[in-house]
Amino acid sequence: MDISENKLLEGPLMTNEREKEEAKVALEELLHQIQVIHLELKIVRNWSYFVFFFWRWYACQLDQTS
């Protein structure tokens, strides 16, 4: 095998490795986005619990004063 044949074999392998790295980076970015959305949903859920129970407490206070 001479040098030109060796370069032909390295070309697709180098491209494949680069594609794997790009795919890995894209997956890491997606994972980060999913984690951020999950955290935001968790915050919204916790606030909704607070609002719901505060509303129920306030409604009970109004009933007691009537």
What tens digit of pLDDT does each residue of 3-48 get? Answer: 555 555 555 556 788 999 999 999 999 999 999 999 999 999 999 9
**DSSP-derived secondary structure letter, 60:** H
Q: Compute the radius of gyration of the chain from its Cα atoms.
A: 29
Question: What is the Cα–Cα distance from 42 to 61, expressed in whole angstroms?
Answer: 29
List, for residues 39-51, the tens digit of each pLDDT value: 999 999 999 999 9
Name the residue type at position 59.
Answer: A
- Count of C-beta atoms within a 10 Å radius of residue 2: 6
Q: Which domain holds residue 16?
A: 1-66
Question: What is the Cα–Cα distance from 58 to 22, expressed in whole angstroms?
Answer: 54
pLDDT given for residue 10 in this prediction = 55
pLDDT given for residue 40 in this prediction = 97
For residue 63, what are its two tokens?
């009933």
State the total domains in the chain: 1
pLDDT given for residue 63 in this prediction = 85
pTM here is 0.60
